[in-house]
Structure 1
Amino acid sequence: MDIFIRYVFKHRFSGNIEIKKYSTSQLEACGAKKLSPCFNETDYELIARNLCFDEEKSVFVGDLINVTTRFGNYIALVKLGEYEQDGSGDEYAPSKCFGFYAEATDPDRTNEDGYVIVSDYLVQNSLIRLDSYKVIGNIYQNPNLLEEAHERK
């Protein structure tokens, strides 16, 4: 099974962002520097190296996703690491988990009827548990999406 990695580079002179995606087998077969001129440290700065959660949907750490719930949609940032998962509705203490998860960028957002869209247990939620979401961009090429989400607060 291949693991896919997204590399995010910034051109040192123009400031342009370049994104390259490679599998571990591609990297092992010929080495990174032969795959792209972006691996030339003189011309490019490596900004991020993100693991892929879902190769089919092309979901990587650092992506912003639009999550659909029965109460409305919300924006979340895809992360990898330790988070707390609580599916009990505050009946039990949240469990500490490690893996890919979505963290709501605006957890206090309400719908037109005044109901909170992001329940407490959805603020940090395993990507596996999400029923419906769509990638809307990443924080490297679309930092404005993250800023807009914070401005709505």
Structure 2
Amino acid sequence: MNIVIRYVFKHRATGNIEIKIYSISQIEERSVQKLSPCFDETEYELISRDLCFDKEKGVFVGDLIYVTQWHGNYIASVEFGEYEQDGSGDEYPPSKCFGFYAKAVNPTITDEEGLEYEIVPDYLIQNSMLRLESYKCIGNIYQNPDLLEEAR
């Protein structure tokens, strides 16, 4: 298995965002400075280094995804690390897990009368990426920061 990493750089002079994707084997074959001029710290600032979850769909940690589930559709951010997984509907205490997971960006909505409604049940706010029925990447927060605002 070859691990894929997305590097997100910000050009210091212009503020432009540059994204470079490399596998570990590419990085091991040659120095990063030879892979891209973005690795020049005087010209570019590294703002994120993200692991790839799904190469086919181009989904990395830090991306926003549109999740289609039996209980409804919602927007989530892709995260990596420790999280609590509870698929029992609060019947059992949640399990501590480690890995890729989807975290619902806005699990509730408030209507015009001020009433709050649950879109994502509490026990599914953090859900293993492997357990999702269907999802698609809608963008990353580096090139589309407005996506995060729209989702809230």
TM over 0.5: yes
Q: 1:57 & 1:144 partners in 2: Cα distance?
A: 21
Q: 2:73 & 2:32 partners in 1: Cα distance?
A: 39
| Counterpart code for 2:11 | H
Q: Cα RMSD between the aligned structures?
A: 1.6
Q: 1:87 & 1:42 partners in 2: Cα distance?
A: 48
Counterpart residue number, 1:40:
40
Structure 2 unaligned blocks of 5 or more? 111-115
Counterpart residue number, 1:108:
108
Deviations 1:99-134 (A, max 9, x none): 100000001148xxx973311122000000001000
Counterpart residue number, 1:6:
6
Kept after mapping to 2: 8 A contact 1:64/1:135: yes
For residue 118 of structure 2, give the secondary structure of its aligned residue in structure 1.
coil
1:147 equivalent to 2:138? Answer no
Kept after mapping to 1: 8 A contact 2:8/2:48: yes
Q: 1:122 & 1:144 partners in 2: Cα distance?
A: 25
Normalising by structure 2, what TM-score? 0.92
Kept after mapping to 1: 8 A contact 2:108/2:117: no
| Counterpart code for 2:123 | Y
Deviations 1:44-69 (A, max 9, x none): 00000000111111110000000012
Aligned length: 148
* Bigger share in strand: 2
1:117 equivalent to 2:122? Answer no
Kept after mapping to 2: 8 A contact 1:71/1:115: no
Identity, in percent, stands at 72
Counterpart residue number, 1:57:
57
Q: Deviation at 1:72?
A: 2.6
Counterpart residue number, 1:137:
139
Normalising by structure 1, what TM-score? 0.92
Q: Deviation at 1:96?
A: 0.8
